[in-house]
């Protein structure tokens, strides 16, 4: 059976990183598929390969470089995960979420999550950005929850609420910043549903997810959000709509990862600029 992490494991990794960085990050950003280019906007960067960081898992998915990048984005000290970990890679959820608790012990206050997702809402177009208002944790409803097992009280309470998982104030700020950018398409807002993957969904599954009230579907993000909220981090996030799900049996289209990355490439610059603009507006929690 895979060894579970101890509090000391998180602590040792955090101390290893703190010893080697020039400044403490206040914001952590998890870059989703094809969104690793956000790190190019950082200045005064320090880069660590996941393979060099004690206890860190390795990313195995195309579009996920596998590097931790520290630097300044629009004047804000950040750390960015250029590549995340997924259940479908065979990792336990404690490994998928390992970096989040390390960030907490590094005194990060805010976690920004991004992902590439399929559009379930018929109003969405490829290239839209959806501000995540809420999520549906399908693996969690079936027992796959990152908080399963003994609770570590030093991180958070046994039964953390999730009704406020995505910070309301930051969502208001995001809409305001988006409006100032003058984009033609409005900033979408909706519910993200997580499926385990790695296969894309069947037509029947897509219809079910729409009936559940989900607006976008993906294979990540939710475990990190749950662990972040458990340990008291402020969270907000975005889905980049890289494909529209297939809901018609007559359709000859098929979803594939290469198209997701290609669509992501074309729209990613918009999301990267948006997040860069937002950085200046993230209020510090501990003044």
Q: How far apart are CA 69 and CA 45, in angstroms?
A: 7
Of the residues 5, 86, 137, 214, only one is catalytic, namely 86
Active site residue 219: yes
Of the residues 10, 59, 64, 91, only one is catalytic, namely 64
Active site residue 88: yes
Of the residues 12, 65, 89, 151, only one is catalytic, namely 89
Evaluate whether 278 touches 169 at the Cβ level (below 8 Å): no
Of the residues 33, 94, 115, 137, only one is catalytic, namely 33
Tokens found for residue 46: 């320090």
Angle at 36 between CA 33 and CA 38, to 5 degrees: 130
Asked if the peptide bond before residue 198 counts as cis, ω within 30 degrees of 0, the response is yes
Q: How far apart are CA 231 and CA 255, in angstroms?
A: 36
Of the residues 12, 88, 151, 276, only one is catalytic, namely 88
Of the residues 28, 116, 170, 267, only one is catalytic, namely 116
Of the residues 151, 152, 257, 259, only one is catalytic, namely 257
Active site residue 64: yes
- Name the burial class of residue 72, with classes exposed (0-12), middle (13-18) and buried (19+) by CB atoms within 10 angstroms of its CB: middle
Of the residues 170, 219, 228, 267, only one is catalytic, namely 219
Q: How far apart are CA 212 and CA 195, in angstroms?
A: 13
Active site residue 220: yes
| Pairing of β 76-82 and β 67-73 | antiparallel
Evaluate whether 238 touches 271 at the Cβ level (below 8 Å): yes
From residue 128, give the alpha-carbon distance in Å to each of 21, 80, 91, 100, 269. Answer: 35, 22, 30, 27, 12
Residues carrying an active site annotation = 33, 64, 86, 88-89, 116, 219-220, 243, 257
């Amino acid at each position: 059976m895979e060894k579970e992490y101890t509090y000391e494991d998180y602590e040792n990794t955090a101390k290893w990183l703190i010893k080697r960085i020039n400044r403490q990050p206040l914001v952590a950003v998890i870059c989703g598929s094809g969104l690793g280019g956000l790190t190019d906007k950082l200045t005064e960067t320090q880069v660590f390969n996941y393979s060099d960081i004690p206890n860190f898992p390795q990313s195995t998915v195309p579009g996920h470089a596998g590097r931790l990048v520290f630097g300044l984005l629009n004047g804000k000290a950040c750390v960015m995960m250029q590549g995340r970990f997924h259940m479908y890679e065979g990792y336990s959820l404690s490994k998928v979420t390992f970096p989040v608790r390390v960030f907490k012990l590094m005194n990060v206050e805010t976690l920004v999550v991004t992902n590439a997702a399929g559009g379930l809402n018929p109003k969405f177009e490829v290239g839209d950005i959806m501000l995540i208002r809420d999520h549906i944790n399908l693996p969690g409803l079936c027992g796959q929850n990152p908080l399963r097992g003994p609770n570590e009280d030093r991180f958070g309470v046994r039964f953390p609420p999730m009704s406020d998982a995505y910070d309301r104030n930051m969502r208001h700020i995001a809409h305001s910043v988006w409006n100032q950018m003058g984009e033609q398409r409005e900033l979408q807002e909706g519910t993200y549903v997580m499926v385990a993957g790695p296969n894309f969904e069947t037509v029947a599954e897509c219809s079910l997810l729409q009936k559940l009230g989900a607006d976008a579907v993906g294979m990540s993000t939710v475990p990190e959000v749950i662990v972040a909220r458990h340990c008291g981090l402020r969270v907000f996030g975005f889905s980049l709509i890289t494909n529209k799900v297939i809901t018609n049996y007559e359709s000859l289209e098929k979803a594939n990862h290469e198209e997701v990355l290609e669509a992501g490439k074309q729209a990613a610059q918009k999301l990267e600029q948006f997040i860069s603009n937002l950085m200046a507006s993230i209020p510090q929690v501990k003044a």
